């Protein structure tokens, strides 16, 4: 993901301008593109996503690079259970997504 952002404590891609409020898409092109390098992880000591997570799924462990696997950063089963059991039973919720970690991230506000 060179140049797009860094992997946040929530495992979301965080962009310095838009925070985790981005969607990735694929574009096939033969246009000449400028190559840039990786962006340094800027989460630092911030724990807003961890503190706001309603199920405590984000461990809040920082990294300068990437996590070895998602279990190093998240209690993934807690997140999945909240989404598939509780949120899926709420009226007018068509997509299983919580989004609280996205909302509280200070990048891209």
Q: How do the domains of the chain map onto residue ranges?
A: 1-109
pLDDT digits (tens, 9 = 90+) for 65-90: 778 899 999 999 998 888 877 776 77
CB 11 within 8 A of CB 71: no
CB 52 within 8 A of CB 102: no
pLDDT digits (tens, 9 = 90+) for 38-75: 889 999 999 999 999 999 999 999 887 778 899 999 99
Q: Which residue has the higher pLDDT, 2 or 5?
A: 5
pTM: predicted TM-score of the whole model, two decimal places: 0.81
Nearest to 99 by CA among 25, 17, 12: 12
Cα dist from 75 to 2, 30, 51, 56, 84, whole Å: 26, 41, 14, 8, 15
């Amino acid at each position: 993901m060179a140049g797009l952002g860094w992997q946040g404590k929530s495992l979301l891609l965080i962009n310095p301008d838009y925070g985790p409020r981005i969607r990735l898409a694929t574009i096939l092109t033969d246009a000449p593109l400028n190559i840039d390098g990786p962006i340094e992880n800027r989460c630092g000591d911030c724990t807003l996503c961890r503190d706001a997570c309603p199920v405590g799924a984000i461990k809040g462990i920082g990294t300068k690079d990437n996590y070895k696997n998602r279990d190093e950063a998240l209690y993934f089963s807690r997140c999945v259970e909240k989404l598939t059991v509780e949120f899926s039973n709420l009226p007018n919720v068509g997509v299983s997504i919580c989004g609280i970690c996205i909302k509280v991230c200070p990048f891209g506000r």
